[in-house]
Structure 1
């Protein structure tokens, strides 16, 4: 064989072998980059692994390196902002009745963990202020106003808690307020003009006129994950709205949403979005 041809073939084999892992590494880097751009939001904390809306669930979200966790805010009979999803106590505590019919002291006597597992016995219903103080600077917090029509003045109360901690002008959207009640979101916008806000919606058709209105006071449109397609994400982005759909409880849904290009994923299982 001609000496030059031999050298050429050896060089070709070398660079071909060397290039393959570089190409694979680049593909993995791109994939990881895409994942990091999609916020990993632990739904009610890492609620697939610990009782929802408890310190245990929020600690688990931090441990799993979620970017944010979501909380549900309601109000006690004596005006304390408490974190619980249902408007009744029956499902997630050993109490019974409407959340708003109990004082904060009465709510603190309830066990909010045993329903999930014996190892969580004694978990309490936390307050918004307690959670802001414990986790600010450690992880982002997505605050949902739950059934605000039941709690007149809850928007002002939330605004006061944020202002008191200089969190009413968050950098990098580390604190976001959202609700299914769009009038309530608009009210928060009036109270805290610099606060990033989100509009929640179920699996319902939405017009361009509605999206334009939402974009006038909110930065996020967070729908049921069933609404999401790549085309719909592009449509939301055309209105300068980011989207963080809910609620992922399986790996296939997480993978689908990542490919659709959503800005964040609200999930009970943070490891489905980012397996760190």
Structure 2
């Protein structure tokens, strides 16, 4: 269906090029509308589409390897079964992480955290989500060590952000990496967040990144007043992206980077 047949898209015409350009465009699990999520192909696609950041999900294998996968089991996005934390790296590495999406991606592998950092740091920003860190004792230290080994923990490095739904984990991570911006993810249950709660988050977080369905002009204003930025998730349509741009958020986490005005990233 072409966009101009939908009345809802009338709002698109009111969004200036400048408004689109200032929006931080984050490719959710890579450009996951176009390629299997959390694979090197998906991340490369996000880079090629000129997103500002790729968003990645970090978990830990039974033998302590940091891998990039969203669910706490491998069932949905690979041809295997079982919990990530109960499988060895070798077992996960031998899985097909692409054919579930499309036969063209048969043979895609689950990448490691190190592989993603080494391939993309300096090319595109990386928004690192610690996925269910409560299942992986010590994961904050392992992530911190991996970043420090690459000198990617310095305050002037604006292209690494760490976030999680586990807010205690973010407090811990911020202590380990005080120079790295951190974010708190917030689901639908945070719709009634108070100014006091925002102030508490702001004591260790630079971003308040909520489910897009709880975002209102008031929330955006209050997050900004608390001196945080707001990157709602997850936009999957042009209409949703336009709505978020009109709400004056700072960035959009999307499966489709083309829905946000794509522009080159300028690295310092």
Judge same fold: TM > 0.5, yes or no: yes
| Other-structure match for 2:10 | none
Q: 1:94 aligns with which of 50, 61, 79?
A: 79
C-alpha distance 172-160 of structure 1, shift in aligned 2 (>3 A): closer
2:242 aligns with: 255
In structure 1, C-alpha distance between the alignment counterparts of 2:227 and 2:22, rounded to whole Å: 16
> What is the TM-score of this pair, normalised by structure 1?
0.88
Distance 1:170 1:41, change over 3 A: farther
TM-score with structure 2 length normalisation?
0.90
Residues 46-68 of structure 1: CA distance to partner in whole angstroms, max 9, x if unpaired? 00000000001001001100000
Structure possessing the higher radius of gyration over alpha carbons: 1
Q: Distance in 2 between matches of 1:189 and 1:59?
A: 28
Q: Which moved more, 1:253-262 or 1:203-212?
A: 203-212
Is the CA contact (8 Å cut-off) linking 2:25 and 2:262 kept in structure 1? no
Q: CA deviation at 1:173?
A: 2.4
What SS does the aligned partner of 1:171 have?
coil
- Corresponding position of 1:211: 198
Question: Which one of 96, 100, 104 corresponds to residue 115 of structure 1?
Answer: 100
**Match in the other structure for 1:23:** none
What runs of 5+ residues in structure 1 fail to find an aligned partner? 1-27
Partner residue in 1 for 2:5: none
Report the secondary structure of 1:186's partner residue: helix
Question: 3-state DSSP class of the match of 1:113?
Answer: coil
**Structure 2, gaps ≥5 residues long:** 1-12, 264-268
The list of structure 1 runs, each at least 4 consecutive aligned residues, that deviate by more than 3 angstroms after superposition, is none
Name the count of aligned residue pairs.
248
RMSD over aligned CA atoms reads 1.3
More helix by share: 1
